[in-house]
Structure 1
Amino acid sequence: MRKIWTDGLALLGIALVLGGCATSKEDLLPHDHRTMLDIWNVETSGSAGGGPAARQLLDARQALRRPLTEADVQAAPSVQARYTRTAANEIHRQFHRLPNPDLLMYVFPHLAGSDPVPVPGYTTLFPLYQRVQYALPGERLEDY
């Protein structure tokens, strides 16, 4: 009974392998003579009209090429100053430690060692996270 099952499985595997080898690459992936540059130009408003994808790409490019406003120029030094180390802010912590709550674990009374020695129950304290984690400048520091 077991031999029939394994023979059938082996026959199915051979049929799948031979069926895969019988398929032509040209049937699965037809290849016309367009280059990647031709495809790019057609899809991104090139020579053959473009389409909706080309319009979206052009709109995104225009949004990125906008000039800086006066408010952006005025705000840039203060934004950049928060990340710059100076003598004034060197003594203050930029990267605050994130809270790492302590967990309390109660160990019940038990016997320990090769000679069963009674150990009374006790409470131990350990941190929740193995490593100390730090917040980036501007991240939340209040308790969650």
Structure 2
Amino acid sequence: MKQRVLPFLCLAVLLTGCSTTKDEMLPPGDATMLELWQNKGSSARTATEARSTLRRGLSDDDSVARQTIEESYTRAAENEIQQVFPRLPNPDMVIYIYPHMAGNAPAPVPGYSSVFPFYSQVQYALPGERTEAL
């Protein structure tokens, strides 16, 4: 008997929830949509004015503290690459080219020095690698 009454009771509760009309739940007002839309601008302005009166300016100490906090969280590519992946030293090699004759018709070339990096590519240390002893 109890199992037969329970579904009917649930159905009755469900149907009573749908028994209200939309006018009872949300009564229509006297204003049209155009009037509501036009009055929205004035209410938004008053809300903005109310917010601005509640706001207070930051003191110099507060603004400096805020800037310091923001800078500590700011990430830039330069900071990240230097902190996490430091550049390994790439020593310059100096080579001296002695005076010589060049070309098919021998032309004298004076001696000169040239500088080039030891490694052809820039090398980076892995995170946690020691670079102090290099």
TM-score category by the smaller chain? 0.3 to 0.5
Greater RCO (Cα-Cα under 8 Å, separation 6 or more): 2
Bigger Rg, structure 1 or 2 = 2
Higher helix share: 2
